Every structure is written in structure tokens, then in C-alpha cells.
Amino acid sequence: AQSVTQLDSHVSVSEGTPVLLRCNYSSSYSPSLFWYVQHPNKGLQLLLKYTSAATLVKGINGFEAEFKKSETSFHLTKPSAHMSDAAEYFCVVRITGNQFYFGTGTSLTVIP
Amino acid sequence: DVKVTQSSRYLVKRTGEKVFLECVQDMDHENMFWYRQDPGLGLRLIYFSYDVKMKEKGDIPEGYSVSREKKERFSLILESASTNQTSMYLCASSLSGTGALNTEAFFGQGTRLTVV
């Protein structure tokens, strides 16, 4: 069975401080992993993806994520939060050709 | 720009009405998906389709049906809308098969449906 766990439902950070959003997955196979962002009343936008090349993946808007197979983790980070980063973030796993498996999301609040 | 377009951003329907949500993609993707999004529950898969006229149930298909008559269009149908179907509905598409494993899904802007 495959699943995705986002360890925090809500994260609050001050503007200019680092962001860490945590994601763990379980899979019997080598997965592809994605982070998406969703701003209020919008669809999901791809931030970055891991596809078995480099384990440190850089995405848009200064975000990056590191794939750690030993820890089955794919945590999302950003060195310095901006007000525009306030949104919902989803960790997603793709194991087969057809299905995507979503975490329940992490809501990021950025405090001025 | 690649696009997944949902026909409505906001809809208000009455209990018992038959409701159609339409989704069109211009990327020639084999897979299309309908998700429902509710606070604290993330995205839950209602149905997906991997080819024209083909469909598979997702995690919460009850009360819904789908239609895919053309590759680019995937419709979600609420046969008799109920208040517990008030939600955000998201359509997505992707390439299919093991060769597409490292490709992402593309999402529409979502339809916020209110059933009164």
C-alpha cells in the first residue's frame, strides 16, 4: 500500500524566517514525489518534483526539497518566507502510471 | 501554456437538481481525474478515466457519475445534488503509463459548488 503523511496541518512562520513543511511517504516501489501549492480559491500549481535524479530538487519561488530514501521523507524548505508564500501545500506521490496519492495538506501562515 | 479548464468557478444549485461539471484539457493527456476538496481532508479522488469511455471509481464515487466521450473532455455528474456535496471540485489531467511516471498532474482552477 502507498500513502503520504504530511506531519503538520498548520505551520506559522514570521516573514524572513525559514520554512519547513514535512512529508513522509510509504511505497513498495520507487516513487515520483511532488509538491504542489494552492492559493485561496485556486487550483494546484506544481512547485517541484523528484524523479530519481538528484535527491535535492529546486523548484519555483525559492523552494527546494530533499528526497531521503532511508527516512522515506521529502520535506519542503525555503530559506526565507515571504508573505506571498501563505497558502496550502500538498505532498503527492506517484507510484504507478495512473494514480496520484495526496497528503492532507499543510496550511502555511506567514506573519508580518 | 498548457491548460485544464473547468467550465464554472462558482455554482449554486438546489437539492435534487442534476448538476454537470465540465472539464477540458488541451494537452492530449490520456488520464483525467475528478477530485473533491474539503477542509482537513485534502483531495479525495471521485473518479478517473484513462481513456475515452473508460472510467474507474476512486475513493468516494457514491452520488457521482462521469462521462468521457472525447479525449479532451471529462464531465462529472451529480445525479441528485445534496447539501453534503457542497465542496470544491478539482479536475486534473496527466500522461499515462509507466513511461510517464515522473510527470505531474495539471489542475484546473476548481469549481466551488454550493448546494442549497
User: To the nearest whole angstrom, how far is the Cα of A82 from the nearest Cα of chain B?
Assistant: 23
Place of cell 525559514: A18
- Which of these, A41, A85, A56, lies nearest to B89 by C-alpha position? A41
Tens digit of each residue's pLDDT (9 = 90 or more) over B36-88: 999 888 899 999 999 999 999 999 999 999 999 999 999 999 999 999 999 99
Mean pLDDT of B31-38: 95
For residue B10, give the C-alpha cell: 462558482
A97 falls in which pLDDT band (50, 70, 90)?
Answer: low
HEC states along B85-99?
Answer: HCEEEEEEEECCCHH
Does A61 score more than 70 pLDDT? Answer: yes
**Cβ–Cβ of B96/A42 closer than 8 Å?**
no
Q: Is B57 within 8 Å of B47 (Cβ atoms)?
A: yes
**Bridging pattern class, strands B87-94 and B111-115:** antiparallel
Does A85 score more than 90 pLDDT? Answer: yes
Could you say which of A34, A43, A104 has the minimum Cβ distance to residue B109? A43
**Bridging pattern class, strands B10-13 and B111-115:** parallel
Does B2 score more than 80 pLDDT? Answer: no
Tens digit of each residue's pLDDT (9 = 90 or more) over A3-54: 899 999 999 999 999 999 999 998 777 788 999 999 988 889 999 999 877 8
